[in-house]
Amino acid sequence: MSSTALRNAARNEPEEGQKKGHGLVFGSRGGIGSEISRILSHKDINVHGIDRAEMSAHGINEWALDVTQPGLETWLEDHFRNHGLPRFFVWCIGVYDRRPLTEYGTVRMRTVLDTNLTALLVALRTVVAAAVEQRSPLRVVVVGSQASVNGGTDAVYAAAKAGCVAAVKSVAREYGRHGITANIVSPGPTNTTMAEVMGDERRRHYESTIPIGRFTEPLEVAAAAVWLLTEAPPAITGTVLDVDGGLVRR
């Protein structure tokens, strides 16, 4: 591989004369997902956003989709036929109840697992299979959670996020030779709507234990994700990048 080709591969950039691909961002209206979409669009990447409700933002194309309903795989296959394969795949979808395990009903437990993990596995299976078949390079970034490391106040959510880590590491191991990288960005407490359920007392507790003394901002998580998508060398794959103000320190 030439030095120019290696530099382009390191940035996931096309060779001269090739068209840029697009980025597929699940959870594009969330606090972190919207920032990722905005930064990618500013890098002249055509962002296709997917969320529960359709609303154009940051100059991106958005589609409304409930990923827990049947048909996700078919929807993705149709999307690929109509728009081509993405070069960048981002998963920012999450449901957090902050509910003790003993207070979970089976139906709600399945909903949390389906939203946080099962839908991701279905989407990864579909996009990875298409990328391998068409020999198309692909960079995957999944937004995880430090709950996957330390547990938390929601065992079902923590278990699902730990499953996301295992899934991404497995994709990196199984499909690295096909030009596919897969990484996790793992935020700690972050200033998004998801953090609003914890209450003031728990927020103060977290802030007292975070070395930088504050919650992470969505833009900080997004910047790390976009770096993995667009600038990180191809050898960085199967990695968990902590963006938590030094909370976990692993």
Q: Would you name the residues annotated as active-site residues?
A: 157
**Partners of residue 26 on adjacent β-strands:** 50, 91
Q: How many helices (H) and strands (E) does the chain have?
A: 9, 7
DSSP code per residue over 62-131: EEE--TTSTTHHHHHHHHHHHH---SEEEE---------GGG--HHHHHHHHIIIIIHHHHHHHHHHHHH
Q: Is 189 helix (H, G, I), strand (E, B) or coil?
A: coil
Q: Which helix (H) or strand (E) holds 230?
A: helix 218-230
- The owner of tokens 């699940």 is 26
Dist CA 182 CA 121 (whole Å): 13
